[in-house]
Structures are given as structure tokens and as C-alpha cells.
């Protein structure tokens, strides 16, 4: 996604996932009058038969949007909640070497939900299997949205433009600006 979406107060609408949108949607919303453009890409212009416009990098809602502070249950969010640590042996891993483990196995009627799932390394996952003899170091619980945001801010974030930096409140050493592949690209139409 190419355009950061800010709320009327100048902060991102959501941090998890970060509120971004496709550049075509951003231009459409600007033309409709829903948003204001704060920054554009200097080297990226799109054309329609009657108009040319620089692609927005940062847009701001004209009216305040009340965000939902709900953390979606997902594999990566379970790993983030558990800080990429196996909840049985305590070892740190990257997400490729972690798995979701059901505290009460599905074999015994356990559900896939926040309160029953933890991150586990493959060795602990194999050892536990469908048995009930191992318990996690910390009892799993549904995470608080702001706790998850603070945990996410400790990790690197890839962004599309350096104009996003002042609005994110992220440690700048953890931000990675990924430039578009074609710096002088000109798109020929707007949908």
C-alpha cells in the first residue's frame, strides 16, 4: 500500500495494522472530498484524460473516524503477544521457527482462541503433542490493543515514504523506507 491514512487529529487511524490504503483509493477519496492530501510523492504523477495529479503519500480524514481497538486473532498476533518466545521453554525465535500450540489440545476439545493458544518452538510443540502434562510459562489471555501496539513498536517497520515518519511516533532507527522500484514511473490512467 502506498498512502498513509491519518485521522482528523493527525494520528494514524489504526496502528495494528497500520492504516494505509492503495493510491487509487486515496485519489478517489480526495476527489470525493472525504480527505485532504498532506504529502505527495514528488516523482509519481498519474493522468486521466482531463487531469494530472501527484500520487498522495499521506492523507488526512476531514472528519474524525472513531477507531476500533480490537486485536484480531491471528498467528502473527499470537507470536507478537508472546514476544516471539516459546511459552514452554522460554527461548526466543523468529516467526519461521514458531508454531501455534493449543494449551488444551483440540484432540481434547480445546478451541482456537486467545485464551487457549500460545507460541511454541517445534521441539516443545512435538513434545507436548496432544498430551496435557506440559503447561505454558504464562497463562495465555486476550491482549490489550495498546499493549500490542507498544510491542509492535519495538520491531522494525517498512514504510513507503519518509514523509510518514513524523506521524508514526516510531523509533526512527526501526523504520525502513522502501522506495518504489521505478522512481520516475508515470502511470497512464486513474481508475
**82-107 pLDDT per residue, tens:** 999 999 999 999 889 999 999 999 98
Write down the residue that cell numbers 517497520 correspond to: 157
Q: Where are the alpha helices (DSSP H) in 33-144?
A: 75-81, 122-128
Inter-CA distances, 165 with 3, 20, 59, 82, 114, Å: 13, 14, 14, 27, 32
Tell me 82's DSSP state. T
User: Residue 87's pLDDT is what?
Assistant: 96
Residue 142 has pLDDT above 50, yes or no: yes
- Per-residue pLDDT tens over the stretch 121-136: 999 999 988 888 899 9
At 180, the pLDDT band (50, 70, 90 cuts) reads low
The third-level CATH classification (topology) of the domain covering 75-143 is DNA Binding (I), subunit A (1.10.30)
Q: Per-domain residue ranges for the chain? A: 3-68+155-187, 75-143
CB 162: neighbour CB atoms within 10 A? 13
CA atoms within 13 A on the CB side of 28: 8
pLDDT in tens, 103-123: 999 989 999 999 999 999 999
pLDDT digits 0-9 by tens, 52-73: 999 999 999 999 999 888 899 9
**Residue 187 confidence (pLDDT):** 45
Who has greater pLDDT, 9 or 16? Answer: 9
Residue with the larger pLDDT of the pair 141 and 187 = 141
Lowest mean pLDDT across 109-113, 147-151, 178-182? 178-182
Phi, psi of 120 (to 5 degrees): -145, 145
Parallel, antiparallel or unpaired: strands 52-61 and 35-47: antiparallel
Amino acid at each position: 500500500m502506498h498512502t498513509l491514512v491519518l485521522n482528523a487529529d493527525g494520528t494514524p487511524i489504526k496502528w495494528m495494522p497500520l492504516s494505509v490504503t492503495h493510491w487509487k483509493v486515496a485519489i478517489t477519496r480526495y476527489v470525493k472530498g472525504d480527505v485532504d492530501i498532506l504529502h505527495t510523492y514528488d516523482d509519481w504523477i498519474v493522468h486521466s484524460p482531463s487531469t494530472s495529479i501527484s500520487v498522495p503519500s499521506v492523507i488526512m480524514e476531514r472528519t474524525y473516524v472513531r477507531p476500533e481497538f480490537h486485536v484480531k486473532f491471528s498467528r502473527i498476533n499470537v507470536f507478537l503477544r508472546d514476544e516471539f518466545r516459546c511459552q514452554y521453554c522460554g527461548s526466543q525465535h523468529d516467526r519461521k521457527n514458531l508454531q501455534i500450540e493449543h494449551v488444551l489440545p483440540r484432540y481434547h476439545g480445546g478451541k482456537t482462541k486467545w485464551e487457549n493458544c500460545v507460541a511454541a518452538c517445534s521441539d516443545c510443540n512435538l513434545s507436548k503433542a496432544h498430551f496435557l502434562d506440559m503447561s505454558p510459562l504464562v497463562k495465555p489471555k486476550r491482549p490489550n490493543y495498546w499493549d500490542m501496539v507498544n510491542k509492535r513498536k519495538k520491531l522494525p517497520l517498512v514504510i513507503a515514504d519518509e514523509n510518514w515518519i513524523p506521524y508514526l511516533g516510531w523509533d526512527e532507527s526501526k523504520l525502513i523506507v522502501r522506495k518504489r522500484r521505478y522512481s520516475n514511473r508515470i502511470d497512464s490512467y486513474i481508475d
